[in-house]
Structure formats: structure tokens, C-alpha cells
Structure 1
Amino acid sequence: MSTPRTDGPPARIALVVGADAADRALVAGLLRLTGWDVREAAGTRDALRLARRSDPDLVVTDLDGPAGEGPALLRRLRLVGCRAHLLAVTADADAQDRAAALEAGALACLPKPVHAGLLLGLLGRRASGPPASGAGDPSTEDVDAELMDRLQQLYATALPGRLTAISDGARTGDAAALARASATLAGTSAQLGHPEVAAVCRAIAQDARRGVLAHELVVELRTVAGA
């Protein structure tokens, strides 16, 4: 079995796996906000294909699917030579699934919705080496306030570009791009204490997935975001 990387520069390629697009967008958005190059997969087949192609440094997989599928994916990733650090997320997986994920090599099993500081703080503490003894369910009490301040600064810096991507998707009629961009901003906004921005972004994404370009909501978003 291959082991995670323990030397060299910080990991920068991440693969986020899960059937729910909104859940994926939340985690992917947080990682992109801090400089990760993120790929997304809706299921096991796509995840294995992307893992072979991109050789990720981090894989975050959702356990809230068919019984045993999440831990099985982690084991298969190792079998195909994936050396990434592995994380699992879940809203309601039972103790057996959580234990199976850890046994399959996950550094930890995080609760959903994923807390921004908890995820990034965990990566900062543990992703440079093997999991600490007893790793599994870290607490939000461990989150560094300085990290959250940095996330807010990164959010503010990235916001104009995120808004431009949403506006461009609506202007060019690219519903898929509009849905992706608005879902990503919805996830990070919800996590970092901007619920009004998150709500408008979710509405834009929902319409875009139905092929509706909600131009009036895009205008409203800029107002709500203070742009």
C-alpha cells in the first residue's frame, strides 16, 4: 500500500468526491479560496479516473452514499497507487462507516456542513504527515481564530473575481458555468458568515441548473455583496 506524501512543497491538487453538487461545491470552494487546484467527481468511477489523471495530493470524499461506498473508494484509491492524504465527510454515517473510513486511511471524518476553519486547520496541522494517534473527529474548539481571519481576508480578495465569473456566465448564456460559479460562492459565503450572499447565490445556481439565467438575481447579488 502506498503512503501519503510527507516531504516536498505543500499539497496543491485536491479531488472532492460526492453525489451532491452543492456539498461538493462547498468543500471545493473553501479549498480553491486558499489556493488549491480542485477537481470534482460525482461518483467512484469518475473519482478513480481523475485520481489516475491528476495524481491529487488530497482527496475529500462524502460517506453519505450507498452503504460502504465511501470507505471502499478510499481503499481502491490506495490500490491504484493514489498517494493522496484522505479525508471523509458525513452528515449521518454510522459508527461502523466512520471506523471503516479511518481504517481505509482517512486522516479524519468531518461532520457536515463542513466548518471552514476546521477543514483548513486540520489540513494545516496534519496533512504534512500521518494522522496523529486517536485522530478521527476533531473539534471546532481547535480552530485557530487567526486562520478564520485569514479566510475572511481571502474571501474579500476573491469576491470581485467570483462575482465577475457569475456575471459572465449570465451574460454569455453559459448556464453550466453560472451554476458552478454561484454554487461555489454560495458555499464559501455560508461558511464564512455571509448568509444573504449565500442565499442569492443558491437561488441563481438552482435556476441555472434548470437552464434559467436569472439576470435580476445577478444584479441583486452585486447589491447584497456590496459590489
Structure 2
Amino acid sequence: MSQPTPAVQTALVVDDSPAARARITTLLQLGGWQVVQAVGTDAALRMAAVVDFDLVVTDMAMRNGHGATLMRKLRENGSTARFLVVAARRTHQVRTLAAHAGAVACLAKPVDPRLFVDVMRGLAPVLRRVEVEPAAPELAAGERARLDEMFVSALPHRLAMIAAGAREGDAEAVASHAVSLAAVSDRLGHLEVAEVAHAVADDARRGVLPQGRLMELVGACARVEGRRRRMPAAQATSR
């Protein structure tokens, strides 16, 4: 019998740069996380006092505090979150300080989406998630391109989670991951992926996990990845 797991994964993103917070937040939301942002260590500690976060992503050097100090205080206060550090100057000293404070990794700023996905994939087993659909403001062309890159980078991880749930016969997990994928796909205009992911979720809610439908989803995601790989050359010639 499987052990019960929390219904949603929560992350706290701490940085005094709005752009840096937004970048990390978007990457996490594309991975199905519920995200809260904080500016500086004091605000982060206040939030952590009322929410038991699963992950804390913090800048190392901020005007309103230091990432290493924040991580140590969170541990002293009983936090069991995993820590991930980002740093504009990723020196040996910074990496060592981050590791001693309990960080699982120290990434350079601005964070590379593919590297971020790889690091997240290597963390402890992913918990089951509920539906989390981020707000959908109007996006400029450049921002949409960046979000598309993040979306494509996260596709293999998302598909792996759905496939793992199907292998284990965990229809609830399949439905949750499929709904999350459908919501983000719909937001970014990848309607084929959204439609098939919704169908997978509907099947899973009925306790059905048809292999054919899962392969259809894999194919739809592969077509999105293929279009994305062909885009840079065309974009370069238009600049």
C-alpha cells in the first residue's frame, strides 16, 4: 500500500529582483508547482512560518538579506524544504557557502531553463500535485518565446511523470499531471497537446489508462518539440 503524499507541492522564491523571481516562478509553474514569492529574508521567514514549503529557491546575495542566512534560519525553525540557490557570481566560495547551508545546487543567474529542469528532475521523488493554473496575462512576443522554450524544456519531465503514474496504475497521479500539462499547453496556445492531455485526464478519472491515448500525447508533444527546434533559424533571419 502506497504512503499518502501531500496534494500539492509548494515553492517559495526569494529574490529582490522582480525579473529573477518571475523567471523562476514561471519555470516552477510550468512544472506544476504552486509558487509564493518573497522579497528578502524577513518576508521569506514570515511566509515560512505559516506555510510548510517543499522547496525554497533563493538568491544568495540580496539587498534585504543573504541566502545562506535564510536557509540556516529556516532549518532552525524546523523547515524540511529542499533548498536551491541562484547566484549572479557563482564562485567557489559562494558554492561552498551554499552547500554548507544545505542547498542541493547553486545555479548561475539568469537561470538556464534546461539546466533548471535537469536539477529539478534530480531532486527527491516528485509529490502528487493538484491542478494549478497560473494567471494568464497578455504576453509580449519575446516573453512568449521564452515561455515556449521553458515549456518545451519541461515536456520530457512532464511526460515521464504521466508515464510513471500509468506504469504504477496510479490513475489519480496521471489525471493530476495531465490536467497540469493541459492547463499550461492551453495557456501557451499548444491546443493539440492541451486537447490530448485533457482526454488522458478524463480517461484516468474513469480509472482507464489506455496506452494508445498516452502514445497520442507523446506524439503531440514531439510535434511541439519539432516545431520549436525549427524556429531559431527562422527567427534569426527575421531579426
Q: Aligned partners of 2:7, 2:85: CA distance in 1, in Å?
A: 20
Residue 132 of structure 2 is matched in structure 1 by none
* Partner secondary structure for residue 53 of structure 1: coil
Matched, 1:82 2:101: no
Report 1:89-168 matches (<5 A).
89-128=86-125, 146-147=156-157, 156-159=185-188
Residue 30 of structure 2 is matched in structure 1 by 33
Matched, 1:43 2:40: yes
**Which of 5, 8, 15 is the matching residue for 1:8?**
5
TM-score after normalising by structure 2: 0.52
Q: Aligned partners of 1:90, 1:149: CA distance in 2, in Å?
A: 30
Structure 1: tracts of 5 or more residues without a match: 1-6, 130-142, 161-191, 196-227
Residue 70 of structure 2 is matched in structure 1 by 73
| Distance change (3 Å), C-alpha of 1:81 and 1:46 | same
Q: Aligned partners of 2:92, 2:98: CA distance in 1, in Å?
A: 10
Letter aligned with residue 47 of structure 2 = L
The question of whether the paired residues in 2 share the 8 Å contact of 1:88 and 1:106 is answered with yes
1:29 Cα deviation after fit:
0.9
1:125 Cα deviation after fit:
1.7
Residue 211 of structure 1 is matched in structure 2 by none
The question of whether the paired residues in 2 share the 8 Å contact of 1:33 and 1:158 is answered with no
The question of whether the paired residues in 2 share the 8 Å contact of 1:64 and 1:92 is answered with no
Q: Aligned partners of 2:182, 2:114: CA distance in 1, in Å?
A: 13
TM-score after normalising by structure 1: 0.54
The question of whether the paired residues in 1 share the 8 Å contact of 2:41 and 2:64 is answered with no
Letter aligned with residue 105 of structure 1 = G
Q: Aligned partners of 1:56, 1:65: CA distance in 2, in Å?
A: 21
The question of whether the paired residues in 1 share the 8 Å contact of 2:40 and 2:65 is answered with no
1:12 Cα deviation after fit:
0.8
Letter aligned with residue 76 of structure 1 = K
Q: Aligned partners of 1:38, 1:23: CA distance in 2, in Å?
A: 14
In the TM superposition, what whole-angstrom CA distance separates every residue of 1:115-159 from its partner, at most 9, and x where no partner exists? 222222212222339xxxxxxxxxxxxx89834999x98754322
Query: What percentage of aligned pairs have identical amino acids?
Result: 38
| Distance change (3 Å), C-alpha of 1:40 and 1:145 | closer
Structure 2: tracts of 5 or more residues without a match: 127-152, 161-180, 190-227, 233-239
In the TM superposition, what whole-angstrom CA distance separates every residue of 1:18-64 from its partner, at most 9, and x where no partner exists? 00011000000111122111000001111001111111000000113
Larger Rg: 2
Letter aligned with residue 87 of structure 2 = T
